[in-house]
Structures are given as C-alpha cells and as structure tokens.
Amino acid sequence: MNFSILIPEKINVGFQSREDTYTKKLAYIIYYDHKGVLRKETSWNSWRDEKIENIIEENVPTSGFVLNKKAGGYSSGWNHRQTYVRVYDPRGFEFEIDVTNLLYILENTNSIKGKGLEGEFVYGWDGKDLILIPTDAPDYKEISAYNKIIQQKTYIKGKELIVGAKYLTKNNEEYVYLGKFDEYDWNGTKKKGKSFFFYADRKYSKIETMRTLGEKIISVVEEECVDNYADLFNILERNRDYSPIDKTKDEYVDYTKEELEEAFESRRWGKSLYTKNREKREIRYSDGIYSYRIENPKYTPSYGWGRSHSNEPYHINVEFSSLDELIKELEPKYLRTYLANGKLYSEDK
C-alpha cells in the first residue's frame, strides 16, 4: 500500500440516476484537500445530475459498508470498461471500487453475507483513484500519521534544514539534506542558481534538487546527521547538477581482450566502442564474424527527374574474422567522462 495516500477530512458526493443500483442512484465521490480546495470538481460536475442534490460528509471511520455487485468488465470494439465492484455506503448511496481495492479490503477484513463488510472504513485517494480503506489494515496507522502531518501544514523552511538530517516529503519519501549549492543545467553550460540538494534512496535519480521548498518538506524524521553522510556526499559530488561535465577531461581507455570478450558475451547482438581515431562504431557479432557498417564510397545518389542511382548499396560491411584482428585494426577503446570537479561521471563500456 502506498503510504502517501490522501485521507481527506471531508468528501463531496454527487449522483446520477441508475436503475441497476439498490438506491437507484450511483455516486461519484470527490474531496476537499488540506487547503480546502474541492479536487476533480470539473469532471465531477460534468458527470453528476445537478437535479439530484449532492451531499457533503465528514470522512470519519464508518461501519456498515456492503459489497453489492460487479460492474463493467466488458470490451466491444471501441467500448471498453474495466471491472468494478459496487459498494453500498450506510449513509445512503452506492459507489464503485476497482478489483485491486476489493482484494486489499478482503485481505484485511471479512465480508459477511447479509451483514456486509466487518469493521470501519474511510475514503482515500491514491493519486486520482478513490480507494476504500479498512481501519483495521496494518497500513492505516502509517497512512493516518502521514495525513495528520499534511493537515497540520507544518512545513519545513529552508533556514531550518540541518545538513545530514533526514526529512519526510509531501510524497512520503525520506530525503537526507546534503546542503545548498549552485545547480547547473543539464548540459552544464550555465548555473541555475542556488538549490537545496537532497539524497533520496531510490533506484534511479538519487539526487533531488529544489530551488525553493514550498510545501515539499513536511517534517523531520531524524535531526542527527546520518552515519553514512560522507558516502552520500560522494554520490552528490558525482552528480552533474552539482558539478557539470567537463569534456576537456574525456579519457579514451584501451579495452583489454578479456573485457571485450565479456562484453560481446553479455551483448549477443554486439556493442558500441571507439576506434583509434575516436570514431564511435557499432560492432555486430554473428557466427564468429565481427563487423560494422560504413557508407559505400562507390554509391552514387540520383539527381534530377528520371535518373537512377548506381546499383551499389548505400552501406557496406567491414568484417573481422576474429577478435584479435578487430583489436589490431581498430585498437578499440571506451570513454571515461569526468565532471569539472575531477570526479568520474561515467564509463561508456
């Protein structure tokens, strides 16, 4: 479960008349965010029947929800509708949840025939999607704690940040503050100005920058400097937002035969490499032959109406019958790229 799910304090329920529902009306539920702004109001107004009065309810733990029936789950040409399950809210209306939400509910509570779902529930939003959350679910405590912070609007200001401390973001991610430094644009041609730099423990894009904090940092997780701050700062020093790429430091390094053998073994189709003339070549490998394509100097393009080009192909293959022959002729290399601060940025192996 996504712990950054929003649990609003109030919901707004609009309706359409539906004969296939128990209450003869189907609900579209939207919510007021922590600023009091009604979200998704435009689509809500275009969907609902304004002749049926909407209702505004406190989004408090409520019991008495009942699973009603399946809806959707068909595809006919252009007309496709995902499978949903209709649920009865004891406050007198029916709404729809998707099957993923249903499975989550049934993992954490029971549905008793004739009595409905056990326990209390609240409405939440995972992005644009409404979900019904059982308060007995283990995740509910963490989701509620996150929402309490959001609703309190206790945002951290830039001057309050402590280098090495850990903070919670509005998206429920934990960031370590690394300091405020000049930030460079993507190609390092100019400075963007001073930015706050954070470390985020993610698979990709581990360095996060913010020109201004706004409402992005919502609380302190740990004020003490993290034990691995030096390691995190080393990651920062290798980030091109912190120090731009310096092409004057490019270094072409000779491949060993073993490195090439391993590379071609792991990339059956072939690989890119640089030649002794610093030309980048796409080397193909098939049936023991190494090859790359070049423009055919004998190819003659056509000019003017009615003229045809030569029968020569536009490209021709340069082939090597062994890796030793390729190494001797091309002296293959890979590129090491460095940042202006001298730190290694990448190895194009």
High-pLDDT (> 90) share of the chain, %: 64
pLDDT at 314: 81
Give the position of tokens 């689509």: 43
Residue from 176, 14, 197 nearest 93 by CA: 14
pLDDT over 80 at 79, yes or no = no
Confidence of residue 36 (pLDDT cuts 50, 70, 90): confident
Residue 321 lies in a domain: yes
Give the separation between CA 172 and CA 176, rounded to whole angstroms.
13
Mean pLDDT of the chain: 88
| Same domain, yes or no: 234 and 320 | no
Q: Which of 101, 133, 150 is the last residue of a domain?
A: 150
Give the separation between CA 216 and CA 196, rounded to whole angstroms.
12
Give the separation between CA 234 and CA 152, rounded to whole angstroms.
35
pLDDT at 239: 94
> Are 98 and 72 contacting, i.e. CB atoms less than 8 angstroms apart?
no
pLDDT over 80 at 141, yes or no = yes
Task: Report the domain count for the chain.
Answer: 3
Mean pLDDT confidence for 334-339: 96
| Same domain, yes or no: 146 and 160 | no
| Same domain, yes or no: 87 and 162 | no
pLDDT at 166: 96
| Same domain, yes or no: 52 and 104 | yes
Chain segment 281-312, per-residue pLDDT in tens: 999 988 889 999 988 888 877 665 555 556 77
Confidence of residue 182 (pLDDT cuts 50, 70, 90): very high
Residue 5 lies in a domain: no
| Same domain, yes or no: 61 and 145 | yes
Q: Which of 243, 275, 296 is the last residue of a domain?
A: 243
Decide: helix, strand or coil at residue 31: strand
High-pLDDT (> 70) share of the chain, %: 92
Range of the domain at 194: 154-243
Mean pLDDT confidence for 94-105: 93
HEC profile for 272-336? EEECCCCCEEEEEEECCEEEEEEECCCCCCCCCCCCCCCCCCCEEEEEECCHHHHHHHHCCEEEE
Chain segment 189-247, per-residue pLDDT in tens: 678 899 999 999 988 889 999 999 998 998 899 999 999 999 999 999 999 999 999 99
pLDDT over 50 at 50, yes or no = yes
pLDDT at 73: 47
pLDDT at 304: 57
- Residue 118 gets which letter from DSSP? -
Residue 185 lies in a domain: yes
Confidence of residue 4 (pLDDT cuts 50, 70, 90): confident
Mean pLDDT confidence for 84-102: 92
